[in-house]
């Protein structure tokens, strides 16, 4: 961990504001996200999740999973393979339609998505970067193709799945039979997806390898509109529960030119990222398209037989909720990011009013803080001994051991205490416990809150219950 003098002093420009540069730099500095294969110059469109990043990603995934499966009796989970029979992608329409329009500049060799450059440049075939001549627009399929088995011929072509949804559709009958599911019911899945994106930028927002959290809900035709509205409501409430700033979320309904040919209705939940409003999750009414196509391509009867209704048969409609897990990680980082001017903090266990963070000048007065909901923070509680000596370090380690069974913990004994608080603020740790001389006498410690910086004296035996309660009742204050 770097401990430079300016560590806590945010960049002078855009003070107090989350920018992609600040998020990217903090993510690397603190071990959330690293560029893939960085020592070789990096691999475009791929990122590695470091020690804090994997904790954050896992917690977001667990929160979603709990919401979808544990809290919904009618939804079950699945983990389907990434490699699927190639016919799947013919049935789904991906072989034919999963394309982006592409143009290249003949002079500077930059590649663009034709729908993302100014219309006048496209019409004049003029490169927006160097004014060189652009090629004709051509369709570019986003699926990664490879071969299975030793022969590299057309018979051995296989795709890396571009979405997790198809793994659910092809298993829908298996799940009905094995788990006696009755419509309406859902199948949830979290997993990797791959897209050969032409333009990957904005850090982990759009990447070639990413993770999705998808839930496909199977309903009786005619009840689809009602269920679609219900799932819109539920997904909105989910982000509210996660503690996201709701004024940074909005709905965007797909217009006729955006709506996929099979979709009856589609809304995106958009988040106000530093680069503007962008899609975070889609809620789609996919009609009976998917199961009809798989019936047609597989030759298997995928109708639902309603045993409770005289054996009535129909192809279910599907309501899809499809969120990017890695895009959610970026959203949570942006949403949590804050910089603020603060007064120096009180020395735990001392009559002294204030302590210095160990930094000279105005850097003392600023902090960068990630205001994660405590339930998803990578580290829930950090334990510090005020001093390394006099048995305080051993006592602090002992208290950490008690907390470990219940929470993700960290331990830090390096540097001034104020500096240690700032380090934890920057990684979003909601609670810090400081062990001092009084702790040796009466077993009490200082519990310090990340958001308010308030410090309270608590007996070590009360810590677990207290922190649990705080997590449960957490309300973001800023």
Q: How far is the CB of 39 from ligand ATP (least distance, A)?
A: 24
Nearer to ligand ATP, 190 or 280 (CB): 280
167 lines the binding site for ligand ATP (CB under 6 A): no
Q: Pick the stretch among 112-120, 278-286, 366-374, 427-435 that binds ligand ATP (CB under 6 A).
A: 278-286
Count other C-beta atoms under 10 Å from residue 12's C-beta: 6
In the window 325-344, what residues touch ligand ATP (CB under 6 A)? 326-327
* Number of residues in contact with ligand ATP under rule CB under 6 A: 16
Which H/E stretch holds residue 312?
A: strand 312-314
267 lines the binding site for ligand ATP (CB under 6 A): no
420 lines the binding site for ligand ATP (CB under 6 A): no
Q: Pick the stretch among 243-251, 322-330, 379-387, 407-415 that binds ligand ATP (CB under 6 A).
A: 322-330
Nearer to ligand ATP, 260 or 471 (CB): 260
280 lines the binding site for ligand ATP (CB under 6 A): yes
Nearer to ligand ATP, 73 or 79 (CB): 79
141 lines the binding site for ligand ATP (CB under 6 A): no
Beta partners for 47? 35
Q: Which residues contact 143 (CB under 8 A, 6 or more apart)?
A: 89, 94, 95, 98, 159, 160, 162, 194, 195, 196
184 lines the binding site for ligand ATP (CB under 6 A): no
| 138 three-state secondary structure | strand
Q: Please name the residue that has the structure tokens 């034919």.
A: 96
| 50 three-state secondary structure | coil
206 lines the binding site for ligand ATP (CB under 6 A): yes
207 lines the binding site for ligand ATP (CB under 6 A): yes
Structure tokens given for 267: 């809304």
342, 366 Cβ separation under 8 angstroms: yes
Q: Pick the stretch among 55-63, 279-287, 372-380, 419-427 that binds ligand ATP (CB under 6 A).
A: 279-287
270 lines the binding site for ligand ATP (CB under 6 A): no
In order of 121, 126, 255, 257, 420, the CA distances from 130 in angstroms are 11, 8, 33, 31, 49
DSSP string across 345-367: PPPTTSS-S----S--GGGGGEE
Structure tokens given for 253: 């309904």
Binding residues for ligand ATP, rule: CB under 6 A, are 163, 195, 197, 206-207, 210, 212, 279-282, 322-324, 326-327
């Amino acid at each position: 961990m770097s401990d430079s003098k300016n560590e806590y002093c945010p960049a002078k420009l855009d003070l107090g504001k989350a920018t992609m540069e600040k998020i990217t730099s903090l993510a690397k500095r603190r071990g959330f996200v690293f560029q893939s294969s960085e020592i070789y110059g990096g691999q475009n469109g791929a990122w590695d999740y470091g020690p804090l990043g994997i904790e954050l990603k896992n917690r977001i995934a667990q929160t979603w999973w709990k919401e979808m499966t544990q809290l919904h009796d009618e939804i079950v989970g699945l983990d389907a393979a990434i490699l699927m029979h190639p016919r799947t992608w013919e049935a789904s329409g991906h072989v034919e339609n999963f394309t982006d329009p592409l143009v290249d500049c003949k002079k500077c060799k930059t590649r663009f998505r034709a729908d993302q450059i100014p219309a006048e440049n496209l019409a004049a075939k003029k490169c927006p970067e160097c004014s060189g001549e652009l090629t004709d627009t051509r369709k570019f399929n986003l699926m990664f193709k490879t071969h299975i088995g030793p022969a590299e011929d057309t018979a051995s072509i296989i795709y890396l799945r571009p979405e997790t949804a198809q793994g659910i559709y092809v298993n829908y009958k298996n799940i009905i039979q094995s788990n006696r599911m009755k419509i309406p019911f859902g199948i949830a899945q979290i997993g990797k997806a791959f897209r050969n994106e032409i333009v990957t930028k904005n850090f982990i927002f759009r990447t070639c390898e990413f993770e999705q959290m998808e839930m496909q809900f199977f309903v009786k035709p005619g009840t689809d509109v009602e269920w679609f509205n219900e799932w819109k409501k539920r997904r909105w409430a989910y982000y509210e529960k996660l503690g996201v700033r709701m004024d940074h979320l909005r709905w965007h309904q797909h217009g006729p030119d955006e709506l996929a040919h099979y979709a009856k209705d589609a809304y995106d939940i958009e988040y106000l990222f530093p680069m503007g409003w962008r899609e975070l999750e889609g809620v789609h009414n996919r009609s009976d398209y998917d199961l009809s196509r798989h019936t047609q391509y597989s030759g298997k009867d995928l109708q639902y037989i309603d045993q409770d209704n005289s054996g009535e048969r129909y192809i279910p409609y599907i309501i899809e909720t499809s969120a990017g897990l890695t895009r959610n990680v970026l959203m949570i980082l942006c949403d949590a990011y804050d910089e603020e001017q603060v007064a120096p903090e009180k020395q735990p266990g001392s009559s002294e009013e204030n302590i210095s963070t160990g930094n000279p000048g105005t850097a003392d007065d600023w902090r960068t803080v990630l205001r994660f909901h405590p339930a998803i923070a990578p580290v829930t509680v950090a334990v510090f001994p005020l001093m390394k000596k006099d048995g305080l370090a051993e006592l602090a380690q002992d208290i950490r051991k008690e907390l470990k069974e219940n929470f993700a913990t960290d331990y830090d004994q390096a540097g001034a205490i104020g500096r240690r608080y700032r380090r934890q603020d920057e990684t979003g740790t909601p609670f810090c416990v400081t062990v001092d001389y009084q702790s040796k006498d009466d077993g009490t410690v200082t519990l310090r809150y990340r958001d308010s910086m308030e410090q309270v004296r608590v007996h070590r035996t009360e810590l677990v219950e207290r922190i649990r309660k705080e997590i449960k009742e957490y309300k973001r204050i800023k």
